[in-house]
Chain A
Amino acid sequence: MKGSMLNDEFFSRLEALAFELRANLGGFFGGKHLVRTYGQTVEFADYREYMLGDDIRRIDWNLYSRFEKYFLKLFTDERQMHTQIFIDCSASMGKDMPQKAQYTVGVAAALGYLSIHNMDKTSFKLIKGDKAEDSFGTLVGKKAFFDAISSLEELEFDGETDLYRAVTSCPNLGSNDGLTVIISDFFTDSDWKKAVDYLCYKKKQVLLIQVMTPDEIDPTYSGRVNLIDAESLGMEDPKNLRIRINRSNQLAYEEALRDMKEELRSFCASRGADFISVSTGNPIEKMLFKELLKVGIIA
């Protein structure tokens, strides 16, 4: 992948944003995310009666003087989340389309940076074939993050991927510990629905980001064409398609794409997951400030 949009200016624009994750997540100690559980912060949350075994230092003596009962003062808790970003590294994501590849890495980097910037942990899972490689491990702190990003810029997109197998077989997936993002074009026969179900089962907050180029959203070519799939192994590969594209074909394509996105959206909604579809023709900032704000993940 040549060229990059990952520079200081890009990251500096992200510093005003932060993840707004669900409060029922568990997470880890530390961090900045308010959760429903009570913790040791200075922010008052509630009272409850003293129970055997409670730390007597947390008894509110002022209330005892008034009600002659022991009440404990409860404080909110802030947790550290783990943002796992699955990147579809199939050929369709950028083998012959460097713009799409750059955009994918840019989106992953932006989400990763938001996470790191909010004192969360981040890991990039590179989906290649039916495996999800964790080449950079869990990243904490900006130094580790930027080291990973510099390597991510050299990412190669090739071959096919199986989202379901890659996600379900991913080690150290954890559970109830934060946001899991899958960045793909979802132009695949693999059962991505099961992957989402698996992540939901793991009590993850799931976000699917579909990345497409403008030409994929609205094909401009027409006439008699031999469409060669970037993931095909040769001219005779059944993935390729010989077709005479006319206006009715283009309308059918639009309809098919619309239905596909609607299926992604409705499935995600049914599972409590979020879904956005972005075009590489639009800047990443627009994706972050508009699409992610719209689904409520970023505040």
Chain B
Amino acid sequence: MSWLTPLLGILGVIGLIVLIIIYIIKPNYQNKIISSTYVWKLSLKYKKHKIPLNKLRSILLFLCQVLIIATAALILAQPFIGSDKVESQRKVLIIDASVSMLAETGAGNRFEKAVEEARAEVLELLENENAEVSVILATEKPSYLVREAGPDAKAQILESLDALVDPAAPSPCTYGASDIPAAVKLAEEITAYAENVEVILYTDIDYVDPGEIKVVSVKDINDWNAAILDVRAIPEENAYRIEIDVACYGKNSSVRVLCDIAGLNMDPRPLTLMADVNCDNDEVQTIAFGKLREDAVGAEIVEEIDIYDFDHLYVRIEENDSFDMDNSFYLYGGRKQPLRIQYASAKPNNYFGSALMVLRNQLSYRWDVEITEVAPDEDPSTEGYDFYIFEHMMPAIMPTDGVVLLANPDPETVPTTAGFRLGAIKGFYNETPLAAGEDHPILNGISADLISVTRYFPITSADGFTPLLNCQGDNVLIAKNDPDCKLAVMSFSLNYSNLAVMLEFPLMMYNMMEYYLPSTVTTHIFDVGETVSLGARSETLFVTGPKLEQVFTEFPATVELKNPGVYTVTQTILSGTEVMENFYVRIPAGESNILSVEDALTNPVFFEAREDSNLDLLLYLAIALVALLFAEWWLHTREQY
């Protein structure tokens, strides 16, 4: 017989002992003063022959009460008679290969200890010639290391296990979280079809309810880990507030946090901030550096400092804990890259100006947008900008270091080398709606049929351009995104279209920015195991990082982040400038809690015969309890009368 909840059973037994002691020692005789005990003593002679029966009844009553409490305790412990009396001949061993298994515990790390335990299990099991063992390595994508191998393959199995902990080979552990449910699901391929299969999980996670799976814990009670869980730069009133989440698991300790700020407020000298954080009861503590404000919310400022701009932060703790992979943290993104836009128009209007202001606000989270408006009597610049807008005019030389938008160019001034030609002007008495051409990112969220024009120059030829909008079959908006030419042509004037007063216009400008000048990364912190999508403003993108060096030419490029550390993305933009951007990949915050406890473990489907063999005793115990209660009541009644 086994116990599903032995702890409750133990508590019940303790309660039983306490109740018996109380029953024995409780002073339950009440004093009663009477005139004389003479007759009572006489009456004892008349009672003598009944005493044995009453004694027996009292004993029975007491016994009955003891049995009632004992039965209740047994019910709490949820006993059952399982089929595992017979040693299982088939076992599936799941070895947790999450990053927390790399925590040092005793002589080696947890993963080595898990492999050692699994090895011992294999050796013992394969003594039996009918035994079969399977080993699953539970990474983020669990897989079989060995599947249903018998004693014949004993050497190969042991070799595979030894290879896992070979110091010369890279560790098979993932730097992220392991997918235990997926590993269990994988084990189900065996447990669902084979009878009497035992599943053993070697992990550092404690489960309150592991179910049918036998969990072997490989952590040590003395393990502890101080960790930096997260670092954030929160913009507040043109300055940053740096918040740092710190925790210490398995030990109450004061943790010293050091924060190196590189390039603080354009100062090349690094600055180091320091704070001692009291971490108790495995709780996450948050400290903050920044400007002290009365209306500030969030973590308390431990050191007041004005942070308007920074290159990167390097936050670290210097503790000799069991797990050092979360003792440092990099934060990038404290300095926005500049984006220069030039707007030149022969007949300036507010439409472009307003749209560009909206654009600047929209992109302020990643660009430091500078807008230059060229007066009609001045010659616009043809270099030094990332985005050129020419309205009602053509530049003397087409800029090559940035994106160019030609709005309503004069057909007479369009050079033949421009790659497109404009026809004679067309006009309508009524507004004529436009129609969308090819599905294109520039038209995301834009309803072309809502845009109408009354005059335009039909684009008669456009080599290498993608037609986006047309009016009665005449192209009026085309775009090209070649490495050496990023050009969009809008052959109608905002003065003769409703586009200028519609939301579609700033949206279209935003889409152009995203299309021609995409963000390399949208954030600067990722978890191991995540996949990052990289945009590029150039033909090639070089990505370097821990155990990674890769060149991308097709975008958006995706990179699977398998290792923690700093990643650098390098590209040469149209202007010829080499732009480097960094982001940091951390281990998942949940893995820092190396003493984590989870509620329930997902169990695989076991072969049906196994379930039938488990005899749940709860029903029988409940029947016995009711019978005992009835007997106790009856005996109690008989005692009274």
A residues with a Cβ closer than 8 A to B are 91-97, 100, 185, 187-189, 213, 215-216, 219, 221-231, 239-243, 246-249, 252-253, 255-257, 259-260
Cα A88 to Cα B354 in complex, Å, equals 122
Residues of A within 8 A of B21 (CB): none
Given contacts A224-B29, A246-B639, contact A255 B43 (CB under 8 A): yes
A-B contact pairs, 17 of them (CB 8 A): A92-B35, A93-B35, A96-B35, A185-B35, A187-B39, A188-B38, A189-B38, A223-B30, A225-B32, A226-B31, A229-B34, A246-B640, A252-B43, A252-B44, A252-B50, A256-B39, A260-B42
In the docked arrangement, what's the CA distance between A221 and B29, Å?
12
A254 to chain B, nearest CB (A): 8
Residue B28, interface by CB 8 Å: yes
* Given known A241-B41, A243-B40, contact A252–B35 (CB-CB < 8 A): no
Q: Does B45 belong to the interface (CB within 8 Å)?
A: yes
Quick check: A252 and B47 within 8 Å, CB to CB? yes
Known: A187-B39, A247-B640, A248-B54. A256 touches B46 (CB 8 A): yes
Distance in angstroms between the alpha carbons of A287 and B28 in the assembled complex: 40
Question: Which of A229, A246, A249, A259 touches B37 (beta carbons < 8 Å)?
Answer: A229
Q: How many angstroms from the CA of A230 to the CA of B47 in the assembled complex?
A: 23
Compute how far the CA of A95 lies from the CA of B28 in the bound complex, rounded to whole angstroms: 26
Q: Which residues of B sit under 8 angstroms from A221, Cβ to Cβ? A: 32
Q: Which of A100, A188, A226 has the most CB of B within 10 A?
A: A226
| Min CB–CB distance B248 → chain A (angstroms) | 58
Size category of the B interface is 20 to 34
List of B residues within 8 angstroms of A241 by Cβ = 37, 40-41
Of B30, B39, B641, the residue contacting A257 (CB under 8 A) is B39
B30: chain A residues within 8 A (beta carbon): 223-226
Q: In the docked arrangement, what's the CA distance between A227 and B43, Å?
A: 14
By the criterion CB–CB under 8 Å, are A92 and B43 in contact?
A: no
Q: Is B33 an interface residue (CB 8 A)?
A: yes
- The reply to whether B43 and A253 form a contact with Cβ atoms under 8 Å apart is yes
Given contact pairs A229-B37, A256-B46, enumerate 10 new A-B contacts (beta carbons under 8 Å): A92-B38, A96-B33, A185-B35, A187-B38, A213-B35, A216-B36, A226-B29, A248-B50, A249-B43, A257-B42
For the complex, what is the distance from the CA of A239 to the CA of B37, rounded to whole Å? 7
Docked CA distance A226–B29 (Å) = 6
Closest to B58 in A: A244
B-chain residues with CB within 8 Å of residue A94 when the two chains form the complex: 35
Docked pose: A255 CA to B28 CA in angstroms = 27
- Write the chain A residue with the least CB distance to B51: A248
CB distance from B48 to the nearest CB of A (A): 9
Q: Are B29 and A230 in contact (CB under 8 A)?
A: no
Q: How far is the CA of A218 from the CA of B280 in the complex (A)?
A: 70
Evaluate contact between A216 and B39: CB separation under 8 angstroms.
yes
Min CB–CB distance A242 → chain B (angstroms): 6
With a cutoff of 8 Å between Cβ atoms, the chain A residues found around residue B33 in the complex are 96, 228, 230
Interchain CA distance A231-B38 in the complex, whole Å? 11
Which single member of B34, B50, B641 contacts A228 (CB below 8 Å)?
B34
A253 to B42, CA, bound (A): 8
Q: Which residues on the B side are within 8 Å of A259 (C-beta)?
A: 42
Which of B28, B41, B42, B46 is the one whose CB lies under 8 Å from A224?
A: B28
- A231: chain B residues within 8 A (beta carbon): 36
How distant is the Cα of A219 from the Cα of B50 in the complex, in angstroms? Answer: 20
Q: Which residue of A lies closest to B46 (CB)?
A: A252
**B496-549 at interface with A (beta carbon < 8 Å):** none
- State which of B29, B36, B46, B640 has its C-beta within 8 Å of the C-beta of A185: B36
Contact call A227/B32, Cβ cutoff below 8 A: yes
**B39 and A260 contact, CB distance less than 8 A:** yes
The answer for the CA separation of A100 and B29 in the assembled complex, in Å, is: 26
**In the bound complex, CA of A223 to CA of B641 (Å):** 11
How many angstroms from the CA of A255 to the CA of B48 in the assembled complex? 13
Nearest to B33 among chain A residues (CB) is: A228
A178 to chain B, nearest CB (A): 30
- Residues of B that sit less than 8 Å from A by CB: 28-47, 50, 54, 639-641
Kindly name the residue among A97, A187, A216 whose own CB sees the greatest number of chain B CB atoms within 10 A. Answer: A187
Report the bound CA distance from A249 to B43 in whole Å.
7
> What is the bound-complex CA distance between A110 and B35, given in angstroms?
24
Chain B positions within 8 Å of A252 at CB level: 43-44, 46-47, 50
- B55–chain A nearest beta-carbon distance, Å: 11
Pick the most buried of B36, B47, B50: most chain A CB atoms within 10 A of its CB.
Answer: B36
- Cα-based distance from A226 to B30 in the complex (angstroms): 6
The answer to whether A240 and B50 touch across the interface, beta carbons within 8 angstroms, is no
State whether B45 touches A229 (Cβ < 8 A).
no
**What CA separation (Å) do A256 and B40 show in the bound complex?**
8
Please list the 6 inter-chain residue pairs (A to B) with the smallest Cβ-Cβ separation, ordered nearest first: A187-B36, A187-B38, A252-B46, A256-B42, A252-B43, A92-B35
Which of A185, A213, A241 has most B Cβ within 10 Å?
A241
Given the known interface contacts A247-B641, A252-B47, A256-B43, the answer about A242 and B34 at a Cβ–Cβ threshold of 8 Å is no
Distance in Å from the Cβ of A92 to the closest Cβ of chain B? 4
Collect the chain A residues with CB atoms within 8 Å of residue B42's CB. 256-257, 259-260
Q: Which residues of A contact B44 (CB under 8 A)?
A: 243, 252
Across-interface contacts of A243 in B (CB, < 8 A): 40, 44
Contact assessment for B47 and A97 in the assembled complex, using a CB-CB cutoff below 8 Å: no
Residues of A within 8 A of B36 (CB): 92, 185, 187, 216, 229-231
Q: Whole-angstrom distance between the alpha carbons of A97 and B34 in the complex?
A: 9
- How near does chain B come to A168, taking the closest CB pair, in angstroms? 22
Bound-complex Cα distance A109 to B235 (A): 108
Which residues on A sit within 8 Å (CB–CB) of B43? Answer: 249, 252-253, 255-257
Contact of A216 among B29, B34, B50, B639 (CB under 8 A): B34
B59 to chain A, nearest CB (A): 13
Could you tell me the distance between the alpha carbons of A248 and B58 in the complex, rounded to whole angstroms? 14
Instruction: Please pick, from B32, B46, B47, B50, the residue contacting A226 in the complex, using a CB distance under 8 A.
Output: B32
Asked if residues B35 and A230 are in contact (CB atoms below 8 Å), the reply is: yes
Chain B residues, CB < 8 A from A215: 34
CA distance A133 to B30 in the complex (A): 38
- C-alpha gap A252/B47 in the complex (Å): 6
Q: Which partner residue on chain B sits nearest A96 by CB separation?
A: B33
Could you tell me the distance between the alpha carbons of A256 and B39 in the complex, rounded to whole angstroms? 6
Select from chain B the residue with minimum beta-carbon distance to A189: B38
Of B31, B32, B39, B54, which is in contact with the most chain A CB atoms at under 10 Å from its CB?
Answer: B39
Which residues of B sit under 8 angstroms from A257, Cβ to Cβ? 39, 42-43
Q: Shortest CB–CB separation between residue B33 and chain A, in angstroms?
A: 5
Closest-CB distance, B3 to chain A (whole angstroms): 38
Nearest chain A residue, comparing its CB with the CB of B35 = A92
Residue of B nearest to A254 (CB): B43
Bound state CA distance, A94 and B33, in angstroms? Answer: 12
Q: How far is the CA of A93 from the CA of B39 in the complex (A)?
A: 14
* B29 CB contacts on chain A under 8 angstroms: 224-226, 242
How long is the Cα–Cα vector from A92 to B37 in the complex, in angstroms?
Answer: 9
Chain A nearest CB from B44 CB (Å) reads 7
Chain B residue nearest in CB terms to A221: B32
A187 CB → nearest B CB, Å: 4
Bound CA–CA A227/B640 (angstroms): 19
In the assembled complex, how far is the CB of residue A122 from the closest CB belonging to chain B, in whole angstroms? Answer: 27
**Whole-angstrom CA separation of A3 from B40 in the bound complex:** 30
Q: Do A249 and B39 have beta carbons less than 8 Å apart?
A: no
- B45→A228 contact, CB < 8 A: no
Q: How far is the CA of A219 from the CA of B37 in the complex (A)?
A: 12
A160 to chain B, nearest CB (A): 10
> Is B35 touching A249 in the complex (CB atoms < 8 A)?
no
A257 to B, closest residue via Cβ = B39
- Give chain B nearest CB distance to A13 CB in angstroms: 28
Contacts of B45 in A (CB 8 A): 256
A230, B34: Cβ atoms under 8 Å? Answer: yes
> A244 CA to B264 CA in the complex, in Å?
89
- With CB as the reference atom, state the residue of chain B lying closest to A242: B29
Q: Nearest Cβ distance between residue B56 and chain A, in whole angstroms?
A: 13
